[in-house]
Amino acid sequence: MTRAMTSELPQPILENSDPETLSSEILKALKYRVGKDATVATPHDWLTASIKVVRDRIIDHWVESTKETYDLKEKRVYYLSLEFLIGRLMRDAFSNLGLLDSMRQALESLGVELDVIAGLEPDAALGNGGLGRLAACFMESMATVDIPTHGYGIRYANGMFRQEISDGWQVELPENWLDHGNPWEFERRERSFEVGFGGHVESMTSGQGQLERHVWKPLERILAVAYDTPVVGWRGKRVNTLRLWSSMAIDPILLDAFNAGDHIGALRESNKAESLARVLYPADSHQAGQELRLRQEYFFSTASLQDILQRHLSQFGTVETLADQAAIHLNDTHPAVAVPELMRLLMDVHGVDFDQAWDITKKTFAYTNHTLLPEALESWPVPLFERLLPRHMQIIYAINAQVLQEVRLAKKFTDEQVRRISLIQEDGDRRVRMGNLAFVGSHSINGVSALHTELMKETIFADLHKLYPDRINNKTNGITPRRWLIQCNPGLTRLARETIGDKFLDDVNELKHLDDFAGDASFRERFAAVKRGNKERLSNLVAARLGIKLDPSAMFDIQIKRIHEYKRQLLNIVEAVALYDQIRSHPERDWVPRVKFFGGKAAPSYHNAKLIIKLANDVAKVINRDPSVRGLLKMVFIPNYNVSLAEIMMPAADLSEQISTAGMEASGTGNMKFALNGALTIGTLDGANVEMKECVGDDNIFIFGLKTEEVAERRNNGYDPKAVIDASPELSQALSAIATGVFSPDDPTRYAELIDGLYQHDWFMVAADFDSYAAAQRDVDKVWQDSADWYAKAIHNVARMGWFSSDRTIRQYAKEIWNVPV
């Protein structure tokens, strides 16, 4: 089946890419670059050889792209992000280059199945969730729309942890994605920069005591070494660079210690330096607070800026034109320390005065905010900052003085507002507010959906917005249709090509022509057959991994994302319990067979999130064993949700759960992936759901629950969850079953506290939204029962999601923020 589908993908755009040439090159690479003969090669060896063959072809384009940017003096975009959740790269590269089919044939002629070796490629899980995956989609879109870009981040030796589920509990294991080496990357030892920490600042006055110059004398120094990964755009148009920094000791072996026979002690510095780039912090919901995290932030910010300045200087000879030639983007506040760092480099190293440095800095930086959750907003204790980065602390005070001077001149701020604008939080322990720092140091601050941007103006940045009313703007998130349709859903891609032609491959808006076919019964049948195939693929995976047998004709209802209380997996689980109850009480009704899927990781220190995982597993166990609901309700928690699993689950969904408490999900991007693959959304008016509803039409989405203002209003006016629960028999019953141990007979009070939280405060409005959610689910059932209606709606979703392409998002960034041509 897969063969027939892919054999129609775009023809190779590269020369010498016929299967025969490729297979002989694969054999050559196997021999001379892996050092193996075909008879003894392992599947991993074939994977490495295949990647190397294609990588060689990418390099030509890479060099061309770089040269063109240089020759034409094009403005460059630098995307600074602590996370790039790029997943597997092989299929992406093959497919974007139009080589997928030839490579498949080439390998087949050598007795190797492409899909088998593709499954061995480890996921580069260098991110937590939405923010990191967005950075990966953006990198691909920037290459596609032909913007000269470097992504900058950290080459974590251990990315996101691997999740195992043991007796229903999450267990975190290290993910050693580099164990078999990484054939995609190029180590650039020559591209290394020193990074300092600690020490003190010396001030020097030159001439007649006029010009004061500051020199930071760090106590510790380590090296940042570049590793480059090529990023291939659609049809190989442009190849950009993802440059990830690894940390190294400047003197890896302490010779004195070594010569004294202390061979372990001699490696002390090395171990310490290398620990910096070891792990990705796996919490995206609350501020980590550890010193190592701040070290990581500074490490990659300074290495990237030194690299950028070196490139700029070597081409243009002066730092004064930096803002004309470079747009540096801060992905959240994680690289916000780049603001004082650029100031330091400009002033202390390149001799620019404060005013000009500040002007260049603001013109160069732009910042995206990705969350309004107060507990996720970064701030660092002043004493820690001062100890680690004493010169930066001075510069932050100087910036603060400048900003507060502007505040005074504006004459429209109360003392309270001034306190909120300050870069230093003064109540309690003194802290540096990284959001405020990123804001004042940037000419553009954007939110990631229309709703979130408005809320930014009204909440966390209300005062700064009043001071600088032109800075906040919206850039609604998007997803790359290459990975999230063409690669992950070859069946739907083929059907669309047969129906409306190939234009949508280059412009996903062209999918709109599918709208005309929603009323065509034979098209709907073919569409349903594709969906069915994707559901079978997922069912096979579940059977193989979990030993659970699923019926692909049931509705596949999926919630996959990080586990967080505001995302309300609990609402979904409680509704499942209520439904379970209903089915048992009224077996005579015509229930819609459903499989409820959950997947996602909890931050290791997030107690309630881990408990919610256990609850999902406990409930699943009871439901799946109960013969009275057999065939009608199943529940599955799929362990270790990651990009590769998403690629299988998105195309297999009928129903997409996007049910966060209104006002709390900045955008969501999973919502877009599901809809593009023909799932209907059940969701709140939160994040980008609002704009999705506008695009797909009110009739093609299931909206329920409180709106943002209503949530706020309830919270402010003495919301009484207990009264709400008592008034809803279904909810009361479900909650009491969970609280009293129906699903945890081995530990009946396991969920008592969790459920008590709903009675006591219910901050996330699970109870308030329950009835509305349950009613929406019954509407879903009704539509499902009219399958012509269901698939027509699903087709409308696919047809109308083009606007959510990250190509559109990136073009908006290019025009409205970066000032680069597209």
Known catalytic residues are 370, 561-562, 567, 669, 673
Does residue 86 contact residue 242 with C-beta atoms inside 8 Å? yes
Q: Which is nearer to ligand 26V, 370 or 471 (CB)?
A: 370
Q: Tell me the number of residues near ligand 26V by CB under 6 A.
A: 22
Neighbours of 64 (CB within 10 A): 12
Instruction: Cite the DSSP H helix spans in 260-365.
Output: 268-275, 291-316, 322-325, 338-344, 354-364
- DSSP per residue, 218-245: -SEEEEEEEEEEEEEPGGG--EEEEEEE
**281 contacts ligand 26V (rule: CB under 6 A):** yes
Does residue 535 contact residue 633 with C-beta atoms inside 8 Å? no
Which of 128, 144, 304, 640 binds ligand 26V (CB under 6 A)? It is: 128
> Could you give the dihedral angle defined by the CA atoms of residues 632, 637, 642 and 646, in that order, rounded to the nearest 10 degrees?
0
Q: Which is nearer to ligand 26V, 437 or 783 (CB)?
A: 437
Burial state string for 291-315 with b = 16 or more CB within 10 A and e = fewer than 16: eebbbbbbbbbbbbbbbbbebbeee
Which of 165, 250, 254, 288 binds ligand 26V (CB under 6 A)? It is: 288
Which of 129, 183, 663, 721 binds ligand 26V (CB under 6 A)? It is: 129
Which of 5, 124, 225, 283 binds ligand 26V (CB under 6 A)? It is: 283
In the complex, minimum distance from the CB of residue 338 to ligand 26V, in angstroms, rounded to a whole number: 16
Q: Which stretch binds ligand 26V (CB under 6 A): 22-30, 283-291, 297-305, 420-428?
A: 283-291
In the complex, minimum distance from the CB of residue 152 to ligand 26V, in angstroms, rounded to a whole number: 16
In the complex, minimum distance from the CB of residue 215 to ligand 26V, in angstroms, rounded to a whole number: 31
Angle at 490 between CA 56 and CA 139, to 5 degrees: 50
Does residue 491 contact residue 145 with C-beta atoms inside 8 Å? no
Q: Among 540, 708, 606, which residue's Cα sits nearest to residue 614? A: 606
Within 8 A by CB and 6+ apart from 454, the residues are: 447
In the complex, minimum distance from the CB of residue 436 to ligand 26V, in angstroms, rounded to a whole number: 16
Which of 54, 77, 100, 134 binds ligand 26V (CB under 6 A)? It is: 134
**329 contacts ligand 26V (rule: CB under 6 A):** no
In the complex, minimum distance from the CB of residue 83 to ligand 26V, in angstroms, rounded to a whole number: 7
Instruction: Tell me which residues in 347-376 interact with ligand 26V (CB under 6 A).
Output: 370-371, 376
Q: Which is nearer to ligand 26V, 557 or 665 (CB)?
A: 665
Distance CA 327, CA 314 (A): 17
Q: Which stretch binds ligand 26V (CB under 6 A): 72-80, 125-133, 582-590, 794-802?
A: 125-133
Pairing assessment for the beta strands 211-217 and 326-331 based on DSSP bridges? unpaired
Q: Which is nearer to ligand 26V, 371 or 777 (CB)?
A: 371
Distance CA 368, CA 374 (A): 16
**269 contacts ligand 26V (rule: CB under 6 A):** no
**797 contacts ligand 26V (rule: CB under 6 A):** no
In the complex, minimum distance from the CB of residue 670 to ligand 26V, in angstroms, rounded to a whole number: 8
Report which secondary-structure segment, H or E, holds 580.
Answer: helix 569-585
Which of 25, 123, 146, 332 binds ligand 26V (CB under 6 A)? It is: 332
Which of 100, 107, 124, 448 binds ligand 26V (CB under 6 A)? It is: 448
**683 contacts ligand 26V (rule: CB under 6 A):** no
**153 contacts ligand 26V (rule: CB under 6 A):** no
Structure-token pair, residue 347: 């002033």
Q: Among 5, 9, 99, which residue's Cα sits nearest to residue 502? A: 9
**613 contacts ligand 26V (rule: CB under 6 A):** no
Long-range contacts of 9-12 (CB under 8 A, 24+ apart): 9/95, 9/98, 9/100, 9/101, 9/486, 9/490, 9/493, 10/98, 10/235, 10/502, 10/505, 11/98, 12/97, 12/98, 12/99, 12/102
Structure-token pair, residue 811: 């073009």
Distance CA 666, CA 664 (A): 6
**183 contacts ligand 26V (rule: CB under 6 A):** no
Distance CA 21, CA 102 (A): 10
**307 contacts ligand 26V (rule: CB under 6 A):** no
**602 contacts ligand 26V (rule: CB under 6 A):** no
Instruction: Tell me which residues in 650-669 interact with ligand 26V (CB under 6 A).
Output: 665-669
**700 contacts ligand 26V (rule: CB under 6 A):** no
Map residues 454-483 to x or -, x wherever contact with ligand 26V holds by CB under 6 A.
-----------------------x------
Q: Which stretch binds ligand 26V (CB under 6 A): 123-131, 213-221, 252-260, 526-534?
A: 123-131
Does residue 738 contact residue 756 with C-beta atoms inside 8 Å? no
Which of 687, 705, 721, 802 binds ligand 26V (CB under 6 A)? It is: 687
Residue whose beta carbon is closest to ligand 26V: 130
Distance CA 706, CA 526 (A): 37
Q: Which is nearer to ligand 26V, 98 or 130 (CB)?
A: 130
Structure-token pair, residue 158: 């251990």
Does residue 123 contact residue 644 with C-beta atoms inside 8 Å? yes
**276 contacts ligand 26V (rule: CB under 6 A):** no
Q: Name the β-bridge partners of 598.
A: 559, 637
Q: Which is nearer to ligand 26V, 252 or 289 (CB)?
A: 289
**639 contacts ligand 26V (rule: CB under 6 A):** no
Q: Which is nearer to ligand 26V, 79 or 281 (CB)?
A: 281
Distance CA 252, CA 268 (A): 8
Q: Which residues bind ligand 26V (CB under 6 A)?
A: 128-131, 134, 281, 283-284, 287-288, 332, 370-371, 376, 448, 477, 665-669, 687
